[in-house]
Amino acid sequence: MSAVVGAPARTVGAVAPDTRPPLRRPRVRKAKLALGSYTTLLMLYLVSPILLMILYGFNDIPGERQMPRFWGFTLDWYRNVFADPSLNEAVRNSIVVALASAAIATPLGATLGLVLGRYVFRGRAAVNFLIFIGIAIPEIVLGSSLLSLYIEVRAPLGLFTILLSHVAFSIPFVAVTVRARVAGMDRSLEDAAQDLYATPVMAFWKVTFPLILPGILAGYMLSFVLSLDDFVISNFVSGQVQTFPIWVYGATRIGLPPTVNVFGTILFVAGVLLALLTAFGRRREA
């Protein structure tokens, strides 16, 4: 159909070039509308499990295990959200590890990103490659090799090995985030600072650092979320300790209690609010 519409446009265009753009418009608008509707549907598909998770946190089921049917509305699961000590501990472990690993991985990754975005030096390709591998390696390969390492050096498996592993897989993500920010930065500002007799250290803290700070914050958030969500690697290196995803995975066989949905919903809302606050804060800064 579009070919038929297109044909006259081309002939007219060939004769009188000035009339070309307006004649092309309707078809673009149609494509735009179709793509827009498609994207809306896709987003609906992407959020449907999340909506279901939130809804089922209010499910008034008979018994303790979630079933694929909505029985009625209740706030009981919110009231008794801390009823299961093992689940509480798993959630606490997840939050502690996520905070600690993001705090460690952010400076380590940010310095890598800063140097890579900034300097050409011998070994740069190797470092870039290492970071690429860190992002592209299948989680199961990383998880199993980390477990091999801990077994070999007889490190007791637990929160500490989970933390070491989370820092490791977060560093590459922080590094690429900061590197992208540094690469897009206007170097002349820093040069100007030095022309105005700022020492390199002063120029860094007064000019460069504030400019790349959004990248660093994004890297921090990313590593926090990656750590909180990680299952595969944690499952390999955790020993008997459970994090939230490990607890949920273990419970899927017997059925999930709706308190999992409640925790999931709380973490979801907190994460979204935090992301929105960061975004708005950044906009005000700009």
Residues 122-141 that bind other proteins (CB under 8 A): 127-141
> Is 147 among the residues that bind other proteins (CB under 8 A)?
yes
| End-to-end Cα, the chain, rounded Å | 46
Q: Which is nearer to other proteins, 29 or 206 (CB)?
A: 29
**C-beta closer to other proteins: residue 45 or 73:** 45
Tell which one of 19, 25, 39, 86 touches other proteins (CB under 8 A). 39
| By CB under 8 A, residue 232 contacts other proteins | yes
Q: Is the dihedral of CA 238, 243, 246, 250 positive or negative?
A: positive
Site for other proteins in 176-215 (CB under 8 A): 176-177, 179-180, 183-184, 187
Residue of 1, 45, 62, 284 that binds other proteins (CB under 8 A):
45
Contact status: 162 vs other proteins (CB under 8 A): no
- Say how far apart CA 250 and CA 257 lie, in whole Å: 12
- The tally of CA atoms less than 13 A away on the side-chain side of residue 79 is 5
Among 84, 118, 198, 266, binds other proteins (CB under 8 A): 118
When binding is defined by CB under 8 A, the residue of 88, 100, 231, 278 that contacts other proteins is: 231
- Of positions 90, 98, 203, 228, contacts other proteins by CB under 8 A: 228
CA–CA separation, 12 and 153 (whole Å): 77
Nearest to 224 by CA among 108, 135, 95, 117: 95
Give the Å distances, CA to CA, from 27 to 13, 34, 39, 41, 195.
15, 11, 18, 21, 54
CB of 240 to other proteins, least distance (A): 12
Determine if 95 is a binding residue for other proteins (CB under 8 A).
no
CA 95 to chain centre: 15
CB of 168 to other proteins, least distance (A): 4
In the block, tokens 């299952």 appear at 231
Binding of other proteins by 108 (CB under 8 A): yes
**Shortest gap between Cβ of 174 and other proteins (angstroms)?**
9
The answer to the question of residue 245 lying near other proteins (CB under 8 A) is: yes
**How many chain residues touch other proteins (CB under 8 A)?**
102
Q: How far is the CB of 106 from other proteins (least distance, A)?
A: 10
Cβ neighbours around 265 below 10 Å, total: 20
Regarding 88 and contact with other proteins (CB under 8 A), the answer is no
The binder of other proteins chosen from 4, 85, 152, 285 (CB under 8 A): 152
Q: What is the largest CA-CA distance in the chain?
A: 81
Reading phi first (left if > 0) and then psi (alpha if -120 to 50, else beta), residue 239 is in left
Q: Rule CB under 8 A: say whether 157 interacts with other proteins.
A: no
Distance in Å, CB of 105 to other proteins, minimum: 8
75 or 186: CB nearest other proteins: 186
Sole residue written with tokens 């008997």: 240
Regarding 49 and contact with other proteins (CB under 8 A), the answer is yes
Residue 123 — left, alpha, or beta (φ > 0 → left; ψ -120 to 50 → alpha)? left
DSSP string computed for 113-145:
HHHHHH---TTHHHHHHHHHHHHHS-HHHHHHH
